[in-house]
């Protein structure tokens, strides 16, 4: 397991993150089972264009026991041994198809963005190629922020947007790569949802297999005896 801790500046204010970036391999005992489950589900695009590709019905609507098992396993990485944490989350599969017709709907790379208002994000890679992962980025300047979002959403909805590549680069060039995570099969990436990130390459050069991930967003983390957050706890400890 690798743990990477970063700090982030957002809109000019220093933001103390709550959760570190964590990368761990071999998350599911049987990842093939999750892939088989995904193949039984219907996938739909975002009605508002907020994200590319297709997402499934949420896991808790499909199998509530599976939903709790996955979420408790994710939380055990951050809070090992603690089975009494309360939380809310949404989890579902996301699919980026690799066939030529679908590729016209995507740009070469994703739009740099963050996942606020969620607390932390977990991505589990479930396709067997490593070149369609996730990159955590840092803002280059005091004023760096996500821009041209409405044009991005319209493009994902299939509308023709003039100079869409230029608009994307106006957004992405404000940031610099910090942590490059390969999309290794059955790897989980956890990061504070306030962190800027993007997909550096939607279309794999290794295989024609679709890009399949499970994406989970966590909120309202609590415990009846109080909750501690990893990054603030680190900051409280003085050497």
What's the pLDDT tens digit per position in 32-67? 999 999 999 999 999 999 999 999 999 999 999 999
Hey, where are the domains in the chain? Answer: 2-236
Q: For residue 3, what are the β-bridge partners?
A: 22
Stretch 159-178: mean pLDDT, rounded? 94
Q: Can you name the CATH fold of 2-236?
A: Jelly Rolls (2.60.120)
What distance in Å separates the CA atoms of residue 120 and residue 42, rounded to the nearest whole number? 26
CA–CA distances in Å: residue 206 to residues 22, 178, 194, 201: 25, 24, 31, 12
Is it the case that residue 115 has pLDDT exceeding 70?
yes
Tell me the backbone φ, ψ of residue 147, rounded to 5 degrees: -135, 170
Cβ–Cβ under 8 Å, residues 87 and 173: no
Q: CA-based Rg of the chain, rounded to a whole angstrom?
A: 18
Q: Which helix (H) or strand (E) holds 2?
A: strand 2-4
Q: How many CB atoms lie within 10 A of CB 239?
A: 2
């Amino acid at each position: 397991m690798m743990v990477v801790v970063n700090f982030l500046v957002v809109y000019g204010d220093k933001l103390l993150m709550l959760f570190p970036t964590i990368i761990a391999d071999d998350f599911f005992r049987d990842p093939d089972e999750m892939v088989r489950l995904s193949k039984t589900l219907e996938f739909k695009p975002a009605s508002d264009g907020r994200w590319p590709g297709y997402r499934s019905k949420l896991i808790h609507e499909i199998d509530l026991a599976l939903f709790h098992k996955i979420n408790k396993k994710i939380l055990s990485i951050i809070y090992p041994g603690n089975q009494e944490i309360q939380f809310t989350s949404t989890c579902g599969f996301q699919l980026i198809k690799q066939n030529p017709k679908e590729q016209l709907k995507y740009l070469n790379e994703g739009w740099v963005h963050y996942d606020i208002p969620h607390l932390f994000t977990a991505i589990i890679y479930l396709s067997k190629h490593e070149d369609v992962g996730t990159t955590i980025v840092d803002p280059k300047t005091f004023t760096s922020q996500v821009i041209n979002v409405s044009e991005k959403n319209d493009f994902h909805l299939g509308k023709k947007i003039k100079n869409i590549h230029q608009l994307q680069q106006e957004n992405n060039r404000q940031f610099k790569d910090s942590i490059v995570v390969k999309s290794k099969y059955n790897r989980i990436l956890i990061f504070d949802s306030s962190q800027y990130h993007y997909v550096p390459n939607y279309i794999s050069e290794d295989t024609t297999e679709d890009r399949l991930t499970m994406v989970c967003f966590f909120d309202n983390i609590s415990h009846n005896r109080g909750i501690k957050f990893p990054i603030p706890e680190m900051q409280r400890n003085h050497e």
